[in-house]
Amino acid sequence: DQQVKQNSPSLSVQEGRISILNCDYTNSMFDYFLWYKKYPAEGPTFLISISSIKDKNEDGRFTVFLNKSAKHLSLHIVPSQPGDSAVYFCAAKPPFAGNMLTFGGGTRLMVKP
C-alpha cells in the first residue's frame, strides 16, 4: 500500500523553463510534507517542506504547493537549471511520529541546456 506516490518516473525540461514535479498521497493524517533531491552516489538532500496548515511555501527558485482536498502536492522549480538534474523524492510525515518519513518512488528530472 503506497501512501505516497509520484506517478511520473521521469521529466525532461529545457533550461530556463519551469519544472513541475507532482506527488499524491492517501493518508489524510500526514501533517508535514517534504521534498528531497538525490544525486547518484549521494544521500538525499532536503529541499523544502510545507506544513499541512499552509498551501504554499517558497524558497528561492523552489515553491511547494499543497492541495489537501485533492491530497496532492507539487514542487515548482523556476527557472530550471542543468544542475537541478537529479532524482526528486516527495516525503510525508504523520503527527507524533518524530522524523519517520514515508517517501514516494521519485521522479528523475533532466534539465537540458
Partner 1 sequence: KAGVTQTPRYLIKTRGQQVTLSCSPISGHRSVSWYQQTPGQGLQFLFEYFSETQRNKGNFPGRFSGRQFSNSRSEMNVSTLELGDSALYLCASSLHYGDTIYEQYFGPGTRLTVT
The contacts of residue 25 (CB under 8 Å, 6+ apart) are: 3, 4, 5, 33, 71, 72, 73, 92
Cell numbers describing residue 73: 502536492
Closest CB to partner 1 among residues 64, 104? 104
Closer to partner 1 by CB, 90 or 111: give it: 90
CB of 18 to partner 1, least distance (A): 26
* Shortest distance (Å) from residue 20 CB to partner 1: 21
| Chain residues in the site for partner 1 (CB under 8 A) | 32, 34, 36, 41-46, 49, 51, 89, 91, 93, 95-106
Residue entry with cell 502536492? 73
Whether the CB-CB separation of 48 and 54 falls below 8 Å is answered with no
Rounded to the nearest whole angstrom, what is the least distance from the CB of residue 19 to partner 1 in the complex? 21
Report in angstroms how near the CB of residue 103 gets to partner 1 at its nearest: 4
Which residue lies nearer to partner 1 by CB, 95 or 113? Answer: 95
| Residue number, 14 or 51, with CB nearest to partner 1 | 51
Do residues 108 and 9 touch, judged by C-beta distance below 8 A? Answer: yes
